Amino acid sequence: MINNIKRIGTEGEKKAKDFLISNNYKIIKTNFHSPYGEIDIIAQDGEILVFIEVKTRSSDLDSALNSISISKRKKISKTASYFLSKNDAFYDVFTRFDVIIILNSRTHTSLKHIKEAFVPTF
C-alpha cells in the first residue's frame, strides 16, 4: 500500500514537471530536502522563483487543497527560506508558492495549477 501511494505521488510529480516544462518553466530542483521539510519542485517562471507543492488525488480538488495544512505550509515556507539561504544566485528574486493538483479518475487525469496558492508562513 505505501509503495503504491509513493508510486502515485512520484507519477504525479513527473506529470507536474512535464506540465511546467511545456509551459516554459525552468526546473531548478525536484524533491529538495532541508532540516524543515521537502519541496516537490522548485522552478523559475521568468524572473520569479516558484516553490511548488504537488498533490495527486483520486478525489475532488477541495480535498487536495485542504490536505495542505498550516503546518505543511510552514514547513514549505521554512524549506524555501533554507533553499534561498544556500543558493546565492537567487538572493534577490521574487518568489511564489504554487500548488499543482493531479486528479486521477478511472477515465482520465486532469491537472490544476494554482498560482499563488498561499503566502509563506514562518
The domains of the chain are located at 2-114
Q: Give residue 107's pLDDT.
A: 78
Q: DSSP labels for 66-79? A: HTS-HHHHHHHHHH
pLDDT tens string, the chain, 122 residues long: the values are 567 667 777 888 999 999 999 999 999 999 999 999 999 999 999 999 999 999 987 766 555 566 788 999 999 999 999 999 999 999 899 999 999 999 887 778 889 999 999 999 87
Write out the three cell numbers for 22: 511545456
- The whole-number pLDDT of residue 105 equals 75
Is the full-model pTM beyond 0.85? yes
Beta-bridged to residue 52, according to DSSP, are 41, 98
Q: Which fold has domain 2-114?
A: Trna Endonuclease; Chain: A, domain 1 (3.40.1350)
CA angle 114, 109, 17 (to 5 degrees): 55
